[in-house]
Amino acid sequence: MKRLGKILHASKSRSLIVKLEKPNPPKLGSKIFDEKLKEIGVVTDVFGPSTSPYISIKPLSSKIENYIGKVVYALKD
């Protein structure tokens, strides 16, 4: 597993926004997991500067407030 960063907030469209710790984003459609290795969603967008990117995650659950501030992970490529 590769640590990606923390979920900062939810967007108006209810996507979860993550500030990546390293400038190597996961591929679109990659599954994203929490610290307990539970799948929480998939990557739908990569945006921001290439040296400090963000990702947008489409969550599987409607209770997105529970994820804000949590560290997320992806499978290593």
Domain residue ranges of the chain, discontinuous segments joined by +? 2-74
pLDDT digits 0-9 by tens, 2-60: 999 999 999 999 999 999 999 999 999 999 999 999 999 999 999 999 999 999 999 99
Q: Which CATH architecture fits 2-74?
A: Beta Barrel (2.40)
Q: Are 73 and 56 in contact (CB under 8 A)?
A: no
Tokens of 69: 């501030």
pLDDT at 36: 94
Check whether 77 has a pLDDT greater than 70. no
pLDDT at 24: 92
User: Hey, what amino acid is at 20?
Assistant: L
- The three-class DSSP label of residue 32 is strand
pLDDT at 62: 86
Alpha-carbon span 33 to 62, nearest angstrom? 16
